[in-house]
Amino acid sequence: MTPSLSSTASASEASAANVSPLPSWNDGATKQSILDFVRGVTTSGGPHFVKPEERIAVFDNDGTLWSESPFYFQLAFVLDRMKVLALQHPEWKDNLLYSAVLRDDLKAVAASGERGLLELATITHAGMTTEEFSKIVEDWITHARHPRFDRLYTEVIFQPMLELLAYLRANGFKTFIVSGGGVEFMRVWAEKVYGIPPEQVIGSSIVTKFEMREGIPVLTRLPQLNFMDDNVGKPVAINMHIGRRPIAAFGNSDGDLQMLQWTAGGLGSRFALLVHHTDSVREYAYEATAMGKLEVALTEAAARGWTVVDMKRDWNRVFSFESAK
């Protein structure tokens, strides 16, 4: 990891203590809704006060904390990993899906749908120990670069969301990632990038098995899906791993809908926010991609009064490497 990653998180933590919090957020109704919510749940004796131990905030990762275009960043890892492993598997050229990966036919890969992507992830993520997998991810994340921005993927992070994470933690919140991405993929770098420790990262997983190798205990990753942390899986995972219903949830797609519904449906003061990608100049503008869409959740947000971030309007800076507007 580069020093700039941890320094970015530290800078965000420091900004939370400023007189004017959330500096990358433009003044307006969106920013004010966050400030009002936090003020309400942290004002001792107030009608909306929430005890610190109950201040749980959950964040989706792809498209919410970092960019997800032109494809999920973990998919970029999968594609790169496939090409490395292909040297040991000449027979892959006869498989339609695998050969599509090897010739960079992303349309064909996307057309394989969730089933195809799960197959690719299983092949590239299994057959090794957890320590071996973490080392492979760490090596990749320190050199792989985003195709448009020519930055490390861990630099294509939304600066306003880093500030929000820091602001919440400065006000007694415990922040969690709840993502459809692989849990052990994210745990390698999440603490350095977001300030979120491994035990507060929840994601999809494959089966692992304990075994002894030459007298050394290891966990081996098997080519079998254990849990898919998306859609209806997210509230189930929250209940299983956290044991408390969050009071704040942040997402960007229909895959986050049930997490936001579960959070907003509790008693007392609640906050739900969707990041709407509307800035094609500084990032991307879309409501649907080959990987996901924002349709049902956007309609529900309007009906239920959830906060929706218009990236173009509400953020004066998208990434830390750009100047504020």
> Would you kindly state where each structural domain of the chain is located, as residue ranges?
3-69+152-314, 73-141
Longest dimension (CA), the chain: 68
Among 64, 80, 268, 247, CA closest to 172? 247
User: pLDDT-derived band of residue 324, with 50, 70 and 90 as boundaries?
Assistant: confident
* Number of Cβ within a 10 Å radius of residue 217: 8
CA 178/CA 230 separation, integer angstroms = 9
Tell me whether strands 201-213 and 216-227 are parallel, antiparallel or unpaired.
antiparallel
pLDDT at 290 over 90: no
CA 110 distance to own-chain centroid: 20
* Cis before 223 (ω within 30): no
pLDDT score for 117: 86
Q: Report the share of the chain in percent with pLDDT over 90.
A: 85
pLDDT at 183 over 50: yes
pLDDT score for 18: 44
Tokens of residue 133, six digits: 């997998």
Tell me which architecture the domain covering 3-69+152-314 has in CATH. Answer: 3-Layer(aba) Sandwich (3.40)
> pLDDT, tens digit, for every residue of 64-93?
999 999 989 999 999 999 999 999 999 999
Least confident range from 111-120, 186-195, 246-255: namely 111-120
> pLDDT, tens digit, for every residue of 146-180?
999 999 999 999 999 999 999 999 999 999 999 99
Q: Identify which has the larger pLDDT, 46 or 112.
A: 46
Q: Identify which has the larger pLDDT, 158 or 4.
A: 158
Q: Is 50 left (phi over 0), alpha (psi -120 to 50) or beta?
A: beta
> pLDDT, tens digit, for every residue of 129-153?
999 999 999 999 999 999 999 999 9
pLDDT score for 4: 46
pLDDT score for 9: 52
Query: Mean pLDDT of all residues in the chain?
Result: 93
pLDDT at 1 over 50: no
- If you average pLDDT over residues 237-258, what whole number do you get? 98
Instruction: Return the H-helix or E-strand segment holding 41.
Output: helix 29-42
**253 with 297: CB under 8 angstroms?**
yes
User: pLDDT-derived band of residue 19, with 50, 70 and 90 as boundaries?
Assistant: low
Residues 6+ apart with CB under 8 A from 135: none
